[in-house]
Chains A and B, each alone.
Chain A
Amino acid sequence: MSSAAEDTNRRMLRARDAMDRHYAEPLDVPALARIAHVSQAHFIRTFRATFGETPHRYLQRRRVERAMFLLRSCDRNVTEICLEVGFTSLGTFSRTFRDIVGESPSAYRARGPLAAVPTCFAMSWMRPSSFG
């Protein structure tokens, strides 16, 4: 592992942090590629090589994780939560949620309130896995 690869990793992490920070905004690959100092095509390829999934998939899981949290910690309805975490259509949200979590948003909500843990751990560990 060269320091060049470490530098690449750090730039990819910087871009991923930007996605985490602005998860409710549309995926902006050109902006992320600029943060990472690479071309757009290279960004998607390198992100996947670094983190094991595409930026699009990462952002979906980030949003679904936030939705999972909100569904079990507040009373807002599913449509409001869907919009708040960055989805623009309830249909896409429900499909993506079910695809990733394995059940519908309302079924997930019916599991009841969550235990309180610091946010960053909840964010990392509730993010539904796409790694099996």
Chain B
Amino acid sequence: MFNALKISQIFVLDQDEALDFYVGKLGLEVNTDADLGFMRWLTINVPGEPDREILLERPGAPRMDEATAAQVRELLTKGAMAGTLFFTTDDCQKTYETLLAKGVEFTDQPTKRDYGIDCGLRDPFGNAIRFSQPLS
């Protein structure tokens, strides 16, 4: 049966802008950036975790017709079909301040919960991201 989760996917409106955000601001690494001809296969990972990739996919043809892609983009930008990514960090408050200084939009400030300290942010397209500092 299964032994790992290797790749998961979120939609982005623009892959270059996605790189600026996920790599330039959030500090993730490019895993693979390949022009396959029919699509740009673009994945990223947390530094040191190359076996767990996130595919940044642009909705559009030929995977879906333009009208369908427009519906996907409409839902993505209003946060309704946006993906969700959960990260962990050693220091939630420090990471929050670092990202806030870079202009990242937060939905939720660091808050202490039963399971640790966590907070939430929004990517430029509408996807939701959370990161938490688990209870040690």
Chain A residues proximal to chain B, CB less than 8 Å: 1, 3, 5-7, 9-10, 12-14, 16-17, 20-21, 50-51, 73, 116, 118-120
Contact = CB atoms under 8 A, between A and B. Distances in A.
A3 B71 CA distance: 11
Interface residues of B, number: 27
- Secondary structure type dominating chain A contacts: helix
Contacts of B115: 116
Given A21-B106, A120-B84, A1 B71 contact: yes
Contacts of A116: 114-115
Contacts, number: 59
Interface in B74-127: 74, 77-79, 84, 86, 105-109, 111, 113-115, 118, 120, 122, 124-126
Interface of B: 13, 70-71, 73-74, 77-79, 84, 86, 105-109, 111, 113-115, 118, 120, 122, 124-126, 128, 130
B125 A10 contact: yes
A13 B13 CA distance: 15
Contacts of A16: 79
B86 A13 contact: no
Nearest to B75: A9
B78 A20 contact: no
A50 B126 CA distance: 14
Contact of B108 (A10, A14, A21, A73): A21
